[in-house]
């Protein structure tokens, strides 16, 4: 039987809420968190556990048909990917922060500043609007440590509760965008799988409505 392939974050903040959403839709997934692939027993769906940053490429290549992913990842490297539905969880913002004791007036202060981030395109596009040039240093995790160890003057990363910024003596000075989990769709989804997606989306909409 034909099954729709969905990408879900392998580990991290979206993983749990994504699986909860599928469960609330009445879909039972044979759980094997250590496995990279799992099947639903009562819905034509297969789950692929993937790394966040890889998901846009998998959608583009049609390796998966749909994905639950943070909007911020699509802004960074999936502006060609369609969003079918906003999912209302994993809300966060992508912001620039500087050391708490640094005086900050506006973004011009960051001309030629070293910015540590996992979101280079997002930073570049934002700075371009103000005609300010960043010196970007790409880091893939624990970005907030960079100013403390002298690696950067500022950082750009996800802010949710703000506790990581606080713990690292940083203050948020520019909010670039807000984000939440979304249901994203491959540009090459087949008609058959589009029909399955319609059924899934119908259930998701009912669940989201009930959550309000």
Q: Of 130 and 166, which CB lies nearer to ligand PRP in the complex structure?
A: 166
Query: CB 8: neighbour CB atoms within 10 A?
Result: 24
Closest to 8 measured CA to CA, from 36, 49, 45 = 49
**Interacting span for ligand PRP (CB under 6 A) from 54-62, 67-75, 125-133, 156-164:** 156-164
Q: Of 103 and 163, which CB lies nearer to ligand PRP in the complex structure?
A: 163
Token pair recorded at residue 175: 């909010």
SS3 178: strand
SS3 37: strand
SS3 168: coil
Binding mask 162-181 for ligand PRP (x = CB under 6 A): xxx-----------------
Token pair recorded at residue 42: 């009562």
Task: Pick from 31, 160, 190, 198 the residue near ligand PRP by CB under 6 A.
Answer: 160
Task: Pick from 113, 115, 136, 159 the residue near ligand PRP by CB under 6 A.
Answer: 159
Footprint of ligand PRP on residues 27-56 (CB under 6 A)? Answer: none
**Interacting span for ligand PRP (CB under 6 A) from 38-46, 121-129, 136-144, 145-153:** 136-144
Token pair recorded at residue 212: 């309000």
SS3 8: strand
User: Tokens 């966060």 correspond to what residue?
Assistant: 92
User: Does residue number 108 form part of the binding site for ligand PRP (CB under 6 A)?
Assistant: no
Q: Residue 122 in contact with residue 77, Cβ under 8 Å?
A: no
Q: Of 164 and 193, which CB lies nearer to ligand PRP in the complex structure?
A: 164
What residues make contact with ligand PRP under the rule CB under 6 A? Answer: 12-13, 141-142, 144, 157-164
């Amino acid at each position: 039987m034909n099954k729709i392939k969905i990408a879900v974050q392998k580990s991290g903040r979206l993983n749990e809420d994504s699986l909860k959403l599928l469960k609330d839709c009445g879909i039972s997934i044979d759980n094997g968190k250590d496995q990279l692939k799992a099947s639903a027993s009562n819905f034509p769906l297969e789950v692929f556990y993937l790394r966040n940053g890889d998901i846009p490429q998998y959608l583009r290549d049609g390796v998966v048909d749909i994905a639950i992913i943070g909007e911020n990842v699509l802004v960074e490297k999936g502006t060609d990917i369609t969003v079918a539905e906003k999912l209302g969880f994993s809300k966060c913002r992508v912001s620039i922060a500087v050391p708490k004791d640094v005086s900050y007036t506006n973004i011009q202060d960051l001309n030629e500043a070293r910015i540590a981030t996992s979101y280079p395109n997002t930073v570049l596009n934002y700075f371009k609007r103000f005609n300010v040039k960043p010196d970007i240093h790409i880091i893939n995790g624990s970005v907030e440590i960079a100013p403390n160890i002298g690696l950067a003057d500022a950082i750009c990363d996800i802010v949710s509760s703000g506790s990581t910024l606080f713990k690292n003596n940083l203050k948020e000075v520019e909010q670039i965008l807000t984000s939440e989990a979304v249901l994203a769709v491959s540009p090459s989804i087949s008609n058959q799988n589009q029909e399955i997606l319609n059924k899934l989306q119908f259930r998701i909409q009912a669940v989201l409505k009930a959550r309000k």
